[in-house]
Amino acid sequence: MGWCCKGLLLFFFCQAWAPGGRGAEPAEPTAEPQLRRGDSLTAQEIERIIGQILQEDLQKADPTGESPLAMPDPEEKTANSTDTKGGADQETTVEVLVKAKEEEVAQEEEKEEEVLKEQDEENGSKEEEREVEEEENEQENEESLEEVSPTTAEGTTSAVEDNFSYIFSRLSAIESAIHRLNVQFYGMDVKMSQYSQNFAKLRSKLDDTQDTLTSVSEMNLRNQRHIGQIEGCLKGRRVSRRCYLFFRHFESYSNAQELCHSRGGNLAMPIDQQEYAALAKYIHESLYPFNWPVWIGINDRRSEGMYLYENGHRVSYFNWYKDPLVTQPNGGILENCVSISSDDGKWWDNDCTRRMYYVCEY
């Protein structure tokens, strides 16, 4: 490659590498003719143009002109242009200038990279510092919330005053609460005394009600007895001054007596032969044609062999069943209650717990 070609390449290279570019800054108007595409240039013209470009770039990079790479005076360059060694020296100078320019550009790039790195590091360090400051602020807030004793004397005094104020306010609230409780207790005492009085009144009324119920119950029993007596005389059979009523219910001796008494009567207690005959006839007619034993109101439960009526009177007339093989009473202490047979009206001693029909008198 000849010197002319190198010069053209350097020309375009320097145009591209120039800071800000030649295109960025409009060319200063000169008296030199403008070059156009297709114009033929001599070696001197090309050298002159390259020298001007390099000189402009060097002045921009080093305005003091102290750089060792400063371009020589154009007149000196023109004077030396006729020298045969001047072409080789100028070529070497251009290469040195190009290398210096490359190094300068590389240094600027390194500086820019360092500046960017420093900015990145500063940004990172700022973010870290911000995070650390935020954490410290949070810790300070938490410590201020949990802090019991301030670090400074004024802070300690204010905190103590606040604590005392809080304690006094709580004590005042407790005192007011106790006062309210006392008032409520007083009201409860008044209500309790009222309730006690009301309970006493209720108890007295309940006693009165119980007395009334007792009297009503007694009256009911009396009425039931009167009703039983009326029913016995209406449904049963009247014999002299009393009435007999037969019941077809199987009951023990004691239950039969209670049922007769609740209706105002007792088990039948005939006292003489006339009454025995009338009672035997009534039972015979009630159960005919069958023969059933029927309880009457005579027993020797109090003393063996001493037969008494249910009213406590001693029996003076007996009508025991008599047979050559069987003679009544024969039960001893095991059979203490008396029943009569419906077919002949004879007496038999039986176990008092045995359940059989019974006849009442009213």
Residues that bind Ca ion (CB under 5 A): 300, 336
Q: To the nearest whole angstrom, how small is the minimum distance from the Cβ of residue 331 to Ca ion?
A: 5
Residue 272: which of 229, 230, 315 has the closest Cα?
Answer: 315
* Closer CB to Ca ion, 328 or 336, in the complex: 336
Q: To the nearest whole angstrom, how small is the minimum distance from the Cβ of residue 322 to Ca ion?
A: 17
* Closer CB to Ca ion, 336 or 342, in the complex: 336
Counting Cα atoms < 13 Å in the Cβ hemisphere of 296 gives 30
* Closer CB to Ca ion, 228 or 329, in the complex: 329
- Chain centre to alpha carbon of residue 338: 77
- Amino acid, res. 188: M
- Chain centre to alpha carbon of residue 192: 36
Q: To the nearest whole angstrom, how small is the minimum distance from the Cβ of residue 342 to Ca ion?
A: 22
Residue 86 to residues 71, 83, 92, 94, Cα–Cα distance (Å): 14, 5, 10, 12
Q: To the nearest whole angstrom, how small is the minimum distance from the Cβ of residue 202 to Ca ion?
A: 54
* Closer CB to Ca ion, 90 or 336, in the complex: 336
Residue nearest to Ca ion (CB): 336
| φ, ψ for residue 294, nearest 5 deg | -135, 130
* Closer CB to Ca ion, 20 or 305, in the complex: 305
Determine the number of helices (DSSP H) and then strands (DSSP E) in the chain. 8, 8
Burial class (CB in 10 A: 0-12, 13-18, 19+), 350: buried
Q: To the nearest whole angstrom, how small is the minimum distance from the Cβ of residue 352 to Ca ion?
A: 9
Residue 329: which of 310, 353, 301, 355 has the closest Cα?
Answer: 301
- Euclidean distance between CA atoms 310 and 298, whole angstroms: 6
How is residue 207 written in tokens? Answer: 């006693």
Q: To the nearest whole angstrom, how small is the minimum distance from the Cβ of residue 304 to Ca ion?
A: 5
* Closer CB to Ca ion, 47 or 300, in the complex: 300
